[in-house]
């Protein structure tokens, strides 16, 4: 028997309660959300011809019969290199881009090509851009006609006549001579909101469907960099796309993983685009900036305190970029980029996953400067990678004394741990800083183990744990699963919330758990108890409840982690129920079950349930998660 008391506890559910953690890991941005199909479009990777091949040439030999491409470095902007292509005869020299593990093209769809080019000598008249399939056959092409010797931008559209998962882009030339090329770029025309050179529609749609309260960006460890020089610097990611300086990704396998030596950040998805995405999703933006410490799992390089000012200035300037009037330097840039209205930034993060006295010392300096200039901005501070332990306790004590606003906690652990820690926040100090559970995910094998699966066991444990987040909504203000995205052919970390290839994407069971919470957050906490105690795992059952004052509904979440079905008798106090309600049920056929690119089996199924005025009965199958919504009066 459960008792549901509809009397408001006085605890509001923050609009930011269930949000999104975004990082360019697993090809999340370049090769993923950012819909650019050409890899290394501006020849800026450490190997400037990485991603490009010239089957009809040998660039290391003087016997290049047909032609060859080489790299010229002559520009002082972020985009330093361009390709110099020499075409010697008409025997079919070509330059081919392989895309991000291929290019996903669909029959009948249009792709927008753009390129900067200059004819440096000779008689090359046209350049042909053609999709080729795995067998090298053309599946759609377009031509540009060169207009002269000066650099000029050219545009064309390619219509694909065949669906190919791993197409490539082949470039051929009519005539002989030398042509310079840069920013060879190709996007599907059909992007999110139809924005030119924008974001992948299916992936943003999945984010939108989560109904996220906030969008945290750009990471993750990429904020910190392995060295300070390689940290994420937001100012290098705004302004004209072609001038944004490419940076090796912290997740590039040059360092540790086997699959992605070709992982670089083009920053085509930069801070302006992140703010715009947050706005599109109706989510509060939450940028996280370097605090002057490189990733402590790597070099842990520290900027000396006397040299910290530029880092602090970056934070202040970012707030101006987001919120400042168009008369300010950075507010003007935002406006020039197309958004005169402020982005309404309310939160900023100082450091990603940093810990120890070095962090606190630097945090204090940021805290002072931000609070002095922008007293309304809330600051998110870090507590390191593991929940609990010496540094974690030290960080929390210090941050409490400093009256920090929100402390970011990260935990990757077993499904068992998540179930056992559903009461984690029950004992937290109600007067201390609020909690941002900024990265968490149950790991089926071990932390970041490549064999981890997004299986139902993990998703169910997360659902159980999340009842504890919700029951503690007076302390827990923000939560997000991590990582968010993974390319099926180019990942470094598992598990992940959404998987994709170059054509399709699928939602994991964990995604549907997040979606059920995000769309059923409610506005105010109410209590559900058994034997006068919160429902925190007795007989394998976990539960939390909220009311939604905007729709006059009660929302009850029940997670059954036991192997037997639960017939939940729920007695209601403090209000009357409508005669019917809805139940969304998420369950798998087994705890090992996963979703895949085919129609997923684990997804919410809706049914109607009957109620009496002050009680109802719900059948909760073994190993399932139910969300029940009923109108109240």
Stretch that binds ligand AHR, among 123-131, 153-161, 213-221, 318-326 (CB under 6 A): 213-221
Instruction: Determine the Cα–Cα distance for residues 565 and 526; give it in Å rounded to an integer.
Output: 25
CA torsion sign for 305, 310, 314, 319 is positive
- If one asks whether residue 185 binds ligand AHR (CB under 6 A), the answer comes out as no
Q: Which is nearer to ligand AHR, 437 or 583 (CB)?
A: 437
- If one asks whether residue 490 binds ligand AHR (CB under 6 A), the answer comes out as no
**Contact with ligand AHR (CB under 6 A): which of 32, 67, 433, 483?**
483
Stretch that binds ligand AHR, among 55-63, 90-98, 217-225, 375-383 (CB under 6 A): 217-225
- If one asks whether residue 353 binds ligand AHR (CB under 6 A), the answer comes out as yes
| Closest CB 481 distance from ligand AHR, rounded Å | 9
Closest listed residue to residue 370, CA positions, set 316, 321, 322, 324: 316
| Closest CB 126 distance from ligand AHR, rounded Å | 45
Tokens encoding 203: 């992936």
Which positions from 118 through 147 interact with ligand AHR, judged by CB under 6 A?
Answer: none
Instruction: Determine the Cα–Cα distance for residues 524 and 9; give it in Å rounded to an integer.
Output: 7
- If one asks whether residue 611 binds ligand AHR (CB under 6 A), the answer comes out as no
- If one asks whether residue 220 binds ligand AHR (CB under 6 A), the answer comes out as yes
| Closest CB 286 distance from ligand AHR, rounded Å | 14
Which positions from 401 through 420 interact with ligand AHR, judged by CB under 6 A?
Answer: 410
| Closest CB 612 distance from ligand AHR, rounded Å | 46
Which residues lie across from 440 on neighbouring strands?
411, 481
- Applying CB under 6 A, the site for ligand AHR has a residue count of 13
Q: Which is nearer to ligand AHR, 410 or 419 (CB)?
A: 410
Instruction: Determine the Cα–Cα distance for residues 275 and 18; give it in Å rounded to an integer.
Output: 18
- Dihedral in degrees, nearest 10, Cα atoms 131, 132, 134, 137: 150
| Closest CB 485 distance from ligand AHR, rounded Å | 11
- If one asks whether residue 522 binds ligand AHR (CB under 6 A), the answer comes out as no
Q: Which is nearer to ligand AHR, 156 or 288 (CB)?
A: 288
Which residues lie across from 381 on neighbouring strands?
407
- If one asks whether residue 546 binds ligand AHR (CB under 6 A), the answer comes out as no
Q: Which residues of 42-146 form beta strands (DSSP E)? A: 52-53, 67-73, 81-87, 94-97, 103-105, 110-122, 126-132, 138-145
- If one asks whether residue 98 binds ligand AHR (CB under 6 A), the answer comes out as no
Stretch that binds ligand AHR, among 3-11, 215-223, 270-278, 388-396 (CB under 6 A): 215-223
Q: Which is nearer to ligand AHR, 355 or 625 (CB)?
A: 355
Tokens encoding 100: 């991000």
| Closest CB 411 distance from ligand AHR, rounded Å | 10
Phi, psi at 319, each rounded to 5° = -65, -40
Q: What totals of helices (H) and strands (E) does the chain contain, helices first?
A: 9, 35
| Closest CB 492 distance from ligand AHR, rounded Å | 9
Instruction: Kindly name the residue from 86, 353, 409, 593 that is annotated as catalytic.
Output: 353
What is the pattern of x (binds ligand AHR, CB under 6 A) and - over residues 311-350?
A: ----------------------------------------
Residue 295 and residue 224 in contact, taking contact as beta carbons nearer than 8 Å:
yes
Instruction: Determine the Cα–Cα distance for residues 470 and 426; give it in Å rounded to an integer.
Output: 11
CA torsion sign for 608, 612, 614, 620 is negative
**Active site annotation includes 353:** yes
Residues with Cβ within 8 Å of residue 470, at least 6 apart in sequence: 13, 17, 476, 517, 525, 544, 546, 557
> At what angle are helices 356-373 and 309-323 packed, to 10 degrees?
40
Closest listed residue to residue 69, CA positions, set 216, 167, 182: 182
- If one asks whether residue 359 binds ligand AHR (CB under 6 A), the answer comes out as no
Q: Which is nearer to ligand AHR, 439 or 566 (CB)?
A: 439
Of how many residues is the chain composed?
633
Q: Which is nearer to ligand AHR, 233 or 249 (CB)?
A: 249
Residue 585 and residue 609 in contact, taking contact as beta carbons nearer than 8 Å:
no
Stretch that binds ligand AHR, among 98-106, 194-202, 214-222, 604-612 (CB under 6 A): 214-222
| Closest CB 221 distance from ligand AHR, rounded Å | 4
Q: Which is nearer to ligand AHR, 385 or 395 (CB)?
A: 385
Q: Which is nearer to ligand AHR, 224 or 548 (CB)?
A: 224
- If one asks whether residue 385 binds ligand AHR (CB under 6 A), the answer comes out as yes
Residues with Cβ within 8 Å of residue 585, at least 6 apart in sequence: 604, 605, 606, 607, 621, 624, 625, 626
**Contact with ligand AHR (CB under 6 A): which of 263, 456, 491, 493?**
493
Which positions from 6 through 35 interact with ligand AHR, judged by CB under 6 A?
Answer: 23, 25
Q: CA 324 → CA 273, 329, 335, 379, distances in Å?
A: 17, 9, 10, 18
Closest listed residue to residue 207, CA positions, set 6, 46, 28, 418: 28
The helix/strand/coil state of 620 is: strand
Q: Which is nearer to ligand AHR, 25 or 380 (CB)?
A: 25
Active centre residues (catalytic): 353
Question: What residue ranges bind ligand AHR (CB under 6 A)?
Answer: 23, 25, 219-221, 352-353, 385, 410, 439, 482-483, 493
């Amino acid at each position: 028997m459960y008792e549901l008391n509809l009397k408001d506890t006085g605890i509001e559910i923050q609009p930011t309660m269930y949000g999104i953690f975004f990082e360019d890991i697993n090809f999340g941005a370049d090769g993923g959300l950012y819909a650019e199909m050409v890899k290394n479009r501006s020849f800026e990777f450490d190997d400037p011809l990485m991603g490009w091949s010239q089957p009809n040439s040998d660039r290391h030999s003087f016997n290049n019969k047909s032609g060859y491409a080489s790299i010229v470095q002559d520009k002082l902007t972020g985009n330093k290199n361009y390709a110099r292509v020499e075409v010697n005869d008409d025997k079919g020299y070509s330059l081919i881009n392989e895309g991000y593990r291929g290019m996903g093209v669909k029959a009948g769809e249009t792709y927008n090509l753009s390129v900067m080019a200059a004819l440096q000598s000779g008689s090359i008249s046209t350049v042909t851009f053609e999709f080729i399939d795995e067998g090298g056959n053309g599946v759609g092409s377009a031509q540009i006609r060169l207009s002269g010797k000066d650099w000029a931008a050219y545009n064309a559209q390619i219509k694909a006549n065949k669906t190919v998962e791993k197409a490539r882009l082949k470039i051929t030339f009519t005539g002989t001579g030398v042509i310079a090329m840069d920013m060879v770029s190709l996007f599907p025309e059909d992007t999110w909101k139809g924005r030119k050179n924008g974001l992948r529609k299916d992936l943003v749609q999945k984010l939108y469907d989560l109904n996220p309260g906030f969008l945290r960006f750009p990471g993750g460890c990429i904020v910190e960099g392995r060295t300070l020089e390689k940290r994420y610097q937001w100012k290098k990611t705004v302004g004209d796309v072609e001038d944004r300086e490419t940076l090796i990704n912290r997740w590039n396998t040059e360092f540790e993983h086997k699959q992605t030596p070709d992982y670089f950040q083009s920053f085509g998805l930069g801070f302006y685009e992140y703010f715009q995405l947050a706005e599109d999703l109706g989510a509060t933006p939450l940028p996280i900036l370097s605090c002057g410490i490189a990733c402590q799992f790597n070099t842990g390089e520290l900027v000396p305190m006397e040299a910290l000012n530029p880092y602090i200035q970056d934070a202040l300037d970012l707030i101006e970029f987001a919120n400042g009037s168009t008369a300010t330097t950075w507010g003007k840039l935002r406006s020039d980029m197309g958004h005169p209205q402020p982005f309404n930034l309310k939160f900023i993060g100082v450091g990603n996953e940093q810990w120890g006295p070095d962090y606190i010392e630097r945090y204090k300096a940021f805290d002072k400067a931000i609070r002095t200039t922008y007293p309304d901005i809330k600051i998110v501070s870090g507590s390191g990678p593991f929940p609990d332990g010496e540094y974690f306790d030290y960080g929390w004590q210090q941050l409490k004394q400093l009256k920090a606003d929100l402390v970011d906690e990260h935990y990757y652990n077993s499904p068992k741990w998540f179930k056992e820690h559903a009461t984690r926040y029950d004992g937290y100090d109600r007067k201390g800083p609020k909690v941002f559970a900024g990265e968490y995910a149950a790991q089926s094998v071990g932390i970041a183990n490549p064999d981890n699966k997004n299986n139902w066991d993990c998703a169910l444990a997360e659902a159980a744990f999340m009842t504890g987040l919700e029951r503690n909504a007076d302390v827990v203000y923000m939560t997000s699963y991590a990582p968010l995205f993974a390319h099926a052919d180019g990942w470094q970390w598992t598990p992940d919330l959404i998987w994709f290839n170059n054509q399709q994407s699928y939602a994991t069971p964990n995604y549907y758990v997040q979606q059920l919470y995000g769309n059923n957050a409610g506005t105010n906490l109410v209590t559900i108890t058994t034997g006068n105690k919160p429902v925190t795992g007795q007989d394998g059952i976990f539960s939390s409840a909220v009311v939604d004052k905007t729709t006059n509904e009660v929302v009850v979440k029940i997670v059954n982690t036991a192997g037997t079905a639960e017939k939940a008798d729920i007695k209601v106090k403090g209000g009357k129920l409508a005669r019917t309600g809805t139940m969304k049920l998420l369950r798998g056929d087994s705890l090992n079950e996963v979703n895949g690119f085919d129609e997923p089996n684990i997804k919410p199924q809706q049914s109607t349930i009957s109620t009496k005025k002050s009680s109802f009965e719900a059948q909760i199958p073994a190993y399932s998660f139910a969300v029940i919504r009923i109108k109240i009066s």
